Amino acid sequence: MPSSENDLFARTVLVLSLALSASLALAAPKVVKKVPPEFPADAMRKNVNAGSVRAKLVIALDGTVTEVEIVEAEPKRVFDRAAVEALKEWRFEPASEKQSHEVRLVFRNEE
């Protein structure tokens, strides 16, 4: 192969390798234990019957959740504490590196 064809081939292989690495890195971590959040009594007192929280989790190598950051909540600050407490109990499959993952929890008062 001429030099320019070798360079093109090498760049193509590199791009495909990077694309494959990126797709593997974006694979969602597998949840092995989910703990449902409790519906807050304070929300019931305020007549709030539903809401949602979107949170970013930092997952350690052993699959434990080490950090929970509330990214979005509706209504604001009503379900945050319940979401954080539940999500800190979640467990994921162990991995070779620290991961982050976003989840959305939906709250509904069924009573």
Residue with tokens 């064809």: 5
pLDDT score at 11 = 40
Is the pLDDT at 91 greater than 90? The verdict is yes
pLDDT score at 3 = 55
Sequence-distant (6+) residues with CB within 8 A of 102 are 54, 55, 56, 57, 71
Sequence-distant (6+) residues with CB within 8 A of 34 are 90
Is position 104 within any domain? yes
Query: Which two structure tokens, joined as six digits, stand for 100?
Result: 């982050």
Is position 20 within any domain? no
Distance CA 81, CA 5 (A): 58
Number of independent structural domains in the chain: 1
Instruction: Give residue 49's domain range.
Output: 28-108
Rounded average pLDDT over 79-86: 98
Q: pLDDT tens digits, residue range 1-59?
A: 555 555 444 343 333 333 334 444 557 899 999 999 999 999 999 999 999 999 999 99
CATH of the domain at 39: 3.30.2420.10
Is the pLDDT at 107 greater than 50? The verdict is yes
